Structure formats: structure tokens, C-alpha cells
């Protein structure tokens, strides 16, 4: 409530903004980890794929 008051927005707008930030960072973290795992796979993954 204090931040909503400080920014001059309603509680509903503050809630939507908070949820938006949380969703953005969740999608960003998923995408970053997926890309990192694709670019730098673990050595165990390469041997598992070769034996399939």
C-alpha cells in the first residue's frame, strides 16, 4: 500500500504491476536457463544422447 500511495496508483494497479513483474522474471529465467542449457550442455547429456 505504501508503494502504491508513493507512486500515486490504486491498489489494483499496484497488484497488476507486481504480477506483471513476477511473470516477466519467471519467463525470463525459464528462457535464460533453457538457452544456457542448449548452448552449454552437460557432458553427461552428450553421452546419454549418443547411446539412444
What whole-number distance in Å separates Cα of residue 15 and Cα of residue 13?
A: 5
Q: Dump pLDDT digits (tens) for 4-22.
A: 999 999 999 999 999 999 9
Residue 51 has what pLDDT?
65
Better-predicted residue by pLDDT, 21 or 50: 21
Confidence of residue 43 (pLDDT cuts 50, 70, 90): confident
Contact 4, 14 (CB under 8 A): yes
**Separation of first and last alpha carbons in the chain:** 55
Record the pTM. Answer: 0.67
Domain boundaries in the chain? 2-41
Distances (CA, A) of 19 to 12, 37, 50: 11, 27, 42
Residue 29 has what pLDDT?
98
Contact 22, 16 (CB under 8 A): no
Amino acid at each position: 500500500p505504501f508503494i502504491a500511495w508513493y507512486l500515486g496508483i490504486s491498489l489494483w494497479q499496484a497488484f497488476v504491476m507486481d504480477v506483471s513483474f513476477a511473470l516477466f522474471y519467471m519467463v525470463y529465467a525459464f528462457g535464460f536457463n533453457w538457452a544456457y542449457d542448449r548452448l552449454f550442455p552437460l557432458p553427461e547429456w552428450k553421452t546419454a544422447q549418443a547411446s539412444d
